[in-house]
Amino acid sequence: MRVTSTGTFASIHQAVTDAAGRAERARNLLASGEKVSKASDSPVDAAALLRVDSNLSAIASYQRNIVDARGWLNTADAALQDAINVLGSAGSLSIAGANSSRDPQQREAIAMEIDALAEQLSADANAKYLGTAVFAGHSTEAVSYDSGTGSWLFTGTTGAVNRQIDASSTMDVSLDGQDVFGFMAGDDVFTVLKDLSAAIRAGDTPAISAAAGRLDARTDAIADALETVGTRTNAVERLANRLDLTTVDLSTARAEIGEMDLTKAVLDVQSTQYAYEAAVAAAGQAGMVSLLDFIR
C-alpha cells in the first residue's frame, strides 16, 4: 500500500468527521431521550409506537367517558335515593291519612303535603347531569306537568345513552324514566300520588289503602332501578381500574420501544466522545514527522 499525502489527510478528515458525527448523534439521543423520533430510525418500532400511541389516546378517551358515565350514574343514584325517600314519606302520610279520626282540615293538610311530594319527585325524575336529564333518554325533560289534565306526562325520548367505557364495550348510562316511574306499566307514580291525595281528601279509606298498595309497587320499581345503577357503577369502577393498569402497561411498552436506555445512552456519549478525541489526536500526529526532519 502506498501512503499518499492526499490519501492520508482525506482519511483523517473522514475519520474525524465520522467520529464527530457519531458523538453528535449519541449526544442528541441522550438529550432527546427518544430512540425512535422519526419512522426511518426504525420502521418496525415506529409502527409499534404508532399503535401504542393510538391505543393510549383511545384509552384516554375511554377514561373521559368513564368520568362522564360515573357522573350520569351518580346523578341517577342520588335522584333515585331521594325518590325512594319521597315515596317513603308518602307511605307514612298515607297511613296518617287513613286514620278515620282526622278531620277534613287535617286531611287537606296531608293531601297538600302529598302534592308537594309529587312536585319533589318530579324534580328527581328530571334530575340533570351537565344540563341533560338522566331519565329522559335523548330528550331534555323526563316529566312535565300538564295543567289541562292536571297530571304528569312522560316527555322523554326513549333511547340508549351509550358511553364507550372500553375498547369492546359500551354502556347505556341512562335509565328509561318511563319504566322507572311507572309510565310504561300504565300506572305512573305521579298518578298514584294524585289518587292518594284525592282519596285522603275524600277520606275514602279503601281507596287510600289501594293507592298505598300501588305506591309500594312503584317503590319496588325504583329500588330495582337503583340496584341497576349500583351494578353499572361497579362495572364502571372495575373497568376504570383495568384501564389504569392497561395505561401503565402501554406506557411501559412505549418506553421500552421508543425511549432511550439511559445507562446505555450515557455510555454511548462517553465512548463516542473518546473515539472523537482519539481521532483528533491521531490527526494531530499525522504528518508531523517526515523524511524532512532527518535530512539536511
Partner 1 sequence: MSFESLRIGNSGLTAAQKALDVTSRNLANAGNEVYSRQRILLSPVESGTGPGDGVRVLGVERIRDVLADLTFRTEAGLAQSNSLRADALGRVESGIGPLAGNLPSLVNEMFDAFNQLSMAPTDPAGRESVINASSTVAGEFNRLYTNLEDLSRDMQANAADLVADLNSSLKQVASLNKVIAEAEAVSVDTSSLKDERDSALDHLAELVGARTQTGLGGEMQVIIGNYPGVTGEIPNSFSLSGAGTSVDPLRLTSSTGVTVPVTGGKLGGTLTYVNSDTLALQAELNAAAIVVRDQLNTAHTAGFDLNGAAGLNLFTGTGAWDMSLNAAIGIDEVAASASGAPGDGNNALAISQLRQDTSPTGALGATQAYVVSVGSRTQAAARTAEISQNVADGARTTRREISGVNIDEELIDLIRYQRAYQASAMAVTTANEVLDTLINRMLR
Binding site for partner 1 (CB under 8 A): 1-7, 9-11, 14, 36-43, 46-47, 49-51, 53-54, 57-58, 60-61, 64-65, 68, 130, 132, 136-140, 157, 159-164, 167, 170, 258, 290-292, 295
Three cell numbers, residue 188:
305512573
Minimum CB distance to partner 1, residue 8 (Å): 9
Three cell numbers, residue 135:
331519565
Buried b (16+ CB within 10 A) or exposed e, 57-69: eebeebbebbebb
Minimum CB distance to partner 1, residue 211 (Å): 34
Minimum CB distance to partner 1, residue 266 (Å): 23
Of the two residues 34 and 179, which places its CB atom closer to partner 1 in the complex?
Answer: 34
Minimum CB distance to partner 1, residue 103 (Å): 49
Of the two residues 59 and 211, which places its CB atom closer to partner 1 in the complex?
Answer: 59
Helices (H), the chain: 5-32, 43-98, 104-125, 177-180, 189-202, 205-258, 262-285
Angle at 194 between CA 129 and CA 216, to 5 degrees: 75
Give the separation between CA 24 and CA 296, rounded to whole angstroms: 45
Of the two residues 1 and 92, which places its CB atom closer to partner 1 in the complex?
Answer: 1
Q: Read off the DSSP letter of residue 3.
A: -
- Cβ neighbors of 257 (< 8 A, separation 6 or more) are 35, 36, 45, 48, 49, 52
Rg (CA), the chain: 38
Of the two residues 7 and 88, which places its CB atom closer to partner 1 in the complex?
Answer: 7
Minimum CB distance to partner 1, residue 136 (Å): 8
Residue 153: strand pairing partners: 144
Minimum CB distance to partner 1, residue 14 (Å): 7
Give the separation between CA 76 and CA 135, rounded to whole angstroms: 8
Minimum CB distance to partner 1, residue 167 (Å): 6
Contact 111, 197 (CB under 8 A): yes
Of the two residues 167 and 262, which places its CB atom closer to partner 1 in the complex?
Answer: 167
Three cell numbers, residue 20:
464527530
Of the two residues 65 and 191, which places its CB atom closer to partner 1 in the complex?
Answer: 65
Contact 208, 199 (CB under 8 A): yes
Of the two residues 36 and 125, which places its CB atom closer to partner 1 in the complex?
Answer: 36
CA dihedral (39, 40, 45, 48) in degrees, to 10, reads: 30
